Structures are given as C-alpha cells and as structure tokens.
Amino acid sequence: MLAAVRVRGRTGIKGGISDTLDMLRLTRINHAVLVPETPSYSGMLRKAKDYITWGKIDQETLEELLEKRAMLPGREKVTLEYLKGTEYKSFQKLAQALLDEKTQLEEVGIKPVFRLHPPRKGYKDTKKAFNEGGTLGYRGEEINLLLKRMA
C-alpha cells in the first residue's frame, strides 16, 4: 500500500496532470490518500510527480493516521466505538486489512482522503525531487516520517 501526499497547489498545472490529481482525489495541499501498488496507480503517481510525494506506508504510521485523521461523512472522527460496529474491532486490525488490501476505506464507511496539517519544521524544497534534497516524488519508507510530522 502506498500513501500519496499533495505538496504543491493548483496554479499553473497542465490539464492532464490536474485530471490525474483529481482521479487520485488529491485536490488540495496537505491531503493524503492510500493507493494500492498497481501499474495503473504507479503511472498516475509518476505523471503527477511534480506536485506530490509518495512512498510505502507501514502499519504503525497507518494506525496513527487512522486514529488521528480518519473522518466519517458528516465530519465526525472515527472512534473505537464506530469500529466495534464493523468487522474490524480496532485500528490495528483495520490498518492490517488495508495493508493486505483486503478492504478499502470506502467499504468501512471512512472518507478516502486524510486532511493533514502542514509538516512540523516544514517541507524541504517544494520544487525539487526527493533524491535531489527536496520534497517531491517517490521517497520509499521516508513517507512514514513525513506523515508522522503531519498527523
């Protein structure tokens, strides 16, 4: 499972890239989504690489993200009481099912987009790739550190 975060705004984006970001549901800065590791999603992420950052999310970070930032329709937070009404009785079981791609957030009734804070200590450089010392593009396991700074 991959996590993608929108880093840059909407000014000056070409139409195709804007459509790709809309399909990924990354419509605003500091929004994050979970996407499966499939060739079609990988192509979409590479196409939008100049506006987003993504990487492989781990169980601990996903649990923290679900606990702090997951929302239900009507802007209600996801609570343990809500999860007890589903087949996943805890955030750990839900996170594991999401990582194993046995379920999706929409199937559990949770909104697919996480609205995050800007990262503590800020982004490094929003116009450079991650491997050049910036923020954009693929960052592998380092996405977990960024998400923890944003949660």
Domain count, the chain: 2
pLDDT in tens, the chain (151 residues): 999 999 999 889 999 999 999 999 999 999 999 999 999 999 999 999 999 999 999 999 999 999 999 999 999 999 999 999 889 989 999 999 999 999 999 999 999 999 999 999 999 999 999 999 999 999 999 999 999 999 8
CATH at residue 82: 1.10.15.30
- Within 13 Å, how many C-alpha atoms sit on residue 37's CB side? 11
Assess whether 18 and 45 both reside in one domain. yes
**Which residue carries 């790709």 as its tokens?**
20
Assess whether 7 and 74 both reside in one domain. no
The two structure tokens encoding residue 82: 């809500």
Assess whether 46 and 6 both reside in one domain. yes
Bridge partners, 85 (sequence order):
none
pTM assigned to the model: 0.91
Q: Which domain holds residue 135?
A: 2-57+114-150
DSSP structure class, residue 11: T
CATH at residue 35: 3.30.1390.20
Contact by Cβ (8 Å): 54, 78: no
Backbone angles phi, psi at 108, to 5 degrees: -90, -10
Assess whether 53 and 63 both reside in one domain. no
Assess whether 141 and 131 both reside in one domain. yes
Q: How far apart are CA 63 and CA 151, in angstroms?
A: 11
Assess whether 75 and 119 both reside in one domain. no
Question: What is the structure's pLDDT at 108?
Answer: 92
73: buried, middle or exposed (CB in 10 Å: 19+, 13-18, 0-12)? exposed
Q: How far apart are CA 52 and CA 29, in angstroms?
A: 9
Q: Which residues of 15-49 are buried (b: 16+ CB within 10 A; e: fewer)?
A: eebeebbeebbbeebbbbbbbeeeeebeebbebbb
Assess whether 99 and 52 both reside in one domain. no
Within 8 A by CB and 6+ apart from 39, the residues are none
Q: How far apart are CA 63 and CA 12, in angstroms?
A: 35
Assess whether 51 and 125 both reside in one domain. yes
Assess whether 43 and 81 both reside in one domain. no
Bridge partners, 129 (sequence order):
136
The two structure tokens encoding residue 34: 């979970």
